[in-house]
Chains A and B, each alone.
Chain A
């Protein structure tokens, strides 16, 4: 009896303590399992580190942050159920999802529940639907095309260029944007063609490029076809430089194309590890045996964004957070973040990289 009483007293104390310091729950969601699980893992590591750092400095508005993790496996249906679970857990901020196809349906759930979200999904539709709660901390596929196209036009002025796509939604969209940017900058593509992804023989199109004297190929699509085209171009005695999108970061390109991959350039978001302001954080990640590559620093920045916005707004209410996030500029580990009316980042978030000996780095200007 006595023991029970004591236990109850402790429980009551515990409950009181919790009331005094009710934690703020923030969440991340992405593919924690499945084919793209490595991206989910990066997001989780970045977010965990950020929350530990924020809590060490006293949390947000005097309250500690608590992290919830949702696994959508890049499946749109699962993403919606993750979103509903998160709404039930009364989260005040979401960083996610990762795949555009998951982010788009899940965001409809969050906007209903007045939960602001920061995402790294690149599909234009993520912010084009007029939702108030979305803030994209990464660039868009159409900005990507602009950066890639302008780079080609300036770097390869006066040379013959072709634009090719694989007829996929991503590939055709990107190729169209690249062609537009190239034409605007005065390098009109000599050829504009499409191929069928998944085939193995591209000798026909390669010979066509050779006949037209093409030196630069702007390609919208995935790395597997680029590897085949480069190999077949080499066999046909055609020296080709390829400019692609973010899909070219895949190291499978190097294994499949061999030394030919040195001729591949692509656009990807700036490497936050190279940001001098982020050096201490990068070091802390490395000390913790986490390489801050890919999406790690983005997740860290998303949590910084929330903490700063809540501190400035002195509130975690949606209307206050939304106004603050849209109106101000935030200093994060991935650089300064400021958003336009749609929720897109104001700075164009892409730079040009080049493969060299199996590693990629910024391409020469």
Chain B
């Protein structure tokens, strides 16, 4: 029982990170109907920005932990949003209105470009940071097994919950959220009503990148190592989470992330860690067979 609880904590933490990245996929899909394959690499870039920021802070001898993490978060969000904006401006906007496939190919190109850029400028070797936030609390002891939850895990889950609440408010209650939803439903009509569609799309990309930045910082603090290839695995898992939860749906992305995190943790716990990816993707196939629009997705209505 204690063992299961520990794996539940592991799975929730992992799922929270997947969920944060998945929201970026799902928002972009919602608004322009394309999969931003460079999103995983935006996440990777943010992890590198976080490592650089942590190193700089250490060089300036700023050791106060909350201060350091806040500063790194702000830096990473700022620069990563700029990346998100630039990617949209350079690779997708010029292709808007062309075939559906063109931005998809352009996104894959952007992903390869970002990976190689980081590899060339930062080197192919892993970049470690010394442990930032160590220790945790023992919450339960049973049968010789101590359930531990580390401060980093608590931080990841808390930050995710706060961001989810803030995001739901932003999308459902604010003027920007209304504009965004309007673009999603009918961008031509939205433009006719005097809303700057391009700017809304840019803002969506920046928001998605900002969430990826938070995930990047969390991953850097949690695992302590980054390399130029982490965007690929994380991107694929998060994309799967978005599809599983129903692409285009914000709560769906979060739910998908959590489900994938939990499947991975429990499969590794009770069956074989070797086959956990097989399990994850098998469940994705099963869900899509019976609910093609994902768990929380709305079936697409053909407009005539």
Chain A neighbourhood of B265, CB < 8 A: 203-204
Number of B residues with CB within 8 Å of any CB on chain A: 42
Residue interface mask A248-265, B partner, CB < 8 A = 1 = 000010011010000000
The residues of A that contact B264 with a CB separation of less than 8 Å are 201, 204
Contacts A198-B229, A203-B10: A208 and B223 contacting too (C-beta < 8 A)?
Answer: no
Decide: A256 near B268, CB < 8 A? Known: A204-B273, A211-B3, A237-B146: no
Which of B128, B224, B277 meets A252, CB within 8 Å? B128
Interface residue from A204, A224, A235 paired with B7 (Cβ < 8 Å): A204
User: Could you tell me if A204 and B128 are in contact, using CB atoms closer than 8 angstroms?
Assistant: no
Binds A, one of B67-75, B130-138, B183-191, B290-298: B130-138
Q: Does B125 contact A (CB under 8 A)?
A: yes
Q: Does B200 contact A (CB under 8 A)?
A: no
Across the two chains, which residue of chain A brings its CB closest to B227? A224
List of A residues within 8 angstroms of B131 by Cβ: 231, 258
A208 engages B219 (CB within 8 Å) = no
Report the bound CA distance from A35 to B124 in whole Å.
Answer: 9
For residue A125, CB closer than 8 A to chain B, the reply is: no
Binding site secondary structure of chain B: helix
Contact indicator A208/B273 (Cβ below 8 Å): yes
Interface size class of A (residues with CB under 8 A): 20 to 34
Within 8 Å CB of A237, what residues of B?
136, 138, 146, 148
In the complex, A24 has a CB within 8 A of chain B:
no
Contacts of B11 in A (CB 8 A): 204
Docked pose: A199 CA to B277 CA in angstroms? 11
Secondary structure type dominating chain A contacts = helix
Instruction: Give the docked Cα–Cα distance between A234 and B223 (Å).
Output: 11
> Chain B residues near A340 (CB, 8 Å)?
none
Partner of A199, one of B10, B134, B233: B233
Contact residue among A198, A207, A255 (Cβ-Cβ distance under 8 Å from B269): A207
Q: Is B145 an interface residue (CB 8 A)?
A: yes
Which positions 235-252 of chain A face chain B at CB distance < 8 Å? 235-237, 252
A 151-169 binary contact with B (CB < 8 Å = 1; else 0): 0000000000000000100
Q: Which residues of B contact A (CB under 8 A)?
A: 3, 6-7, 10-11, 13-14, 124-126, 128, 130-131, 134, 136, 138, 144-146, 148, 150, 152-153, 219, 223-225, 227, 229-230, 233-234, 264-265, 267-269, 272-274, 276-277
The 10 closest A-B pairs by CB, nearest first: A204-B268, A256-B128, A203-B10, A194-B274, A235-B150, A200-B223, A211-B3, A255-B128, A237-B148, A205-B273
Taking Cβ atoms with an 8 Å cutoff, the residues of A that contact B are: 35, 167, 193-196, 198-201, 203-205, 207-208, 210-211, 213, 224, 227-228, 231-232, 234-237, 252, 255-256, 258
Beyond A194-B274, A235-B136, list 15 extra A-B contacts (CB 8 Å): A167-B274, A200-B225, A203-B265, A204-B11, A204-B264, A231-B224, A232-B223, A234-B134, A235-B153, A236-B6, A236-B148, A237-B136, A237-B138, A252-B126, A256-B128
